[in-house]
Structure 1
Amino acid sequence: MNNRLEKKFIYNNGDESYKYFLISGMFKETYPKRVVNSIYFDSDIFQDVWDNINGFGNRKKIRIRWYNELNNSSVFIEEKKKIGFVTQKKIENLGNFKNYSDLTLFIKKEDYQKNCLFKNKKINIKKALIVQYERNYFELYNKKLRVTVDKNIKIFQKFPNKFIENDKLIIELKYSVQNSTYVNNFVKNNFLKNRNQKYSKYVNSFIDMNENALI
């Protein structure tokens, strides 16, 4: 399990002013762009959503994640916890799956429900929320700060064809606790104009679905 700090900066789709920050900071691209797919799990009463909305200092979310097409590729289960300002993430590899139907069948199996991340958690898999977006990856030359850029966010009512779109672009800064002073100064000196703010793709997707009477 790794510990880190995260800051998120929210832009409207089409606003590319964040690129000045990447250029002035001389970031390098560390991975090719890829599509991130996440299935989120929650209790019958969406406890994780309400813990976040109510601003509880300690909260979590559980998701299954894969990248690009689900074509015999690896799938991971993640538990992401927020404890105060610190983010903790635990990841396990569930194996490879040939397609979404194959993954869906696996989720329904008893062995999956016995996974250590689900023990003593009342997870209702019928209420999974699926979110997909494009992600670019950047890092400083000294490796003290990583930045991801997420755009073209889709929230699925029925995967993979029925969805609504989120019009936001998310810039996320990720760094260790010991580099917090360095990162704060770096952000100021390299003119990231927008204010960082609290934002959860899961929670905001839930709100979007609810406002469209889809959940």
Structure 2
Amino acid sequence: MMRAWENRPDTVVVDEPLYAAYLARTGIDHPGREEVLAAQPTDLDEAVTELHARLPDGVSVHYAKHMAHHVDIGSDVEWTTAFRNVLLIRDPAEVVASYVRSREACEPEDIGLLQQQWLLEQWDDAGLDVPVVDSGDFLRDPETHLRWFCDWLEIPFYASMLSWPAGPRDSDGVWAPYWYDAVLASTGFEPHRPRVVELSPHDAAVAEACRPAYDALRERSLRLV
């Protein structure tokens, strides 16, 4: 999704701007931890302030890719209401399988679904319109979904959002070598394929602990296909 938005002529992309603040706050060990801490603000307020930076000339759209687990449940998320928010969800077994390819340890709070459910509750209470899209549905028809999002945002759709050259981008976080193998190799959205994942008993339990949150979010997801 980040590649699609960056391939627009009017858009600047920011990759996981709260990552260093999350690592500093939690002390959690991630691949490339020290590189991330050195590359971004470790203070959450400073990181959020940077999200309001003036856009470059010729740019009218600011796209920030966040990971929901970078936000603590129960924290003050009033700052998020200044933005148009979208939740992208994925079956928890698939999320866990992807996560443990780069980091051995995994707990329910590491994969973001619990935080996504909580964030949606906060936005509901604030009366905000926040679409939820399931990655499986999106991959069945990326163009229909991207056109819907552009209409919702009242911006033009560009066919360039559907394909892009392989390789790294200057906007990629310094963590890209640890997490982005598939992204770096991609040239577009791969067709949706149901996945059969094999998880350890612990990782399977993590996925199942997050499944009620996923199911609740799934009930709210766009049904465009």
Same-fold call, TM cutoff 0.5: no
TM-score normalised per structure 1: 0.25
TM-score normalised per structure 2: 0.24
- Structure with the largest fraction of helix: 2
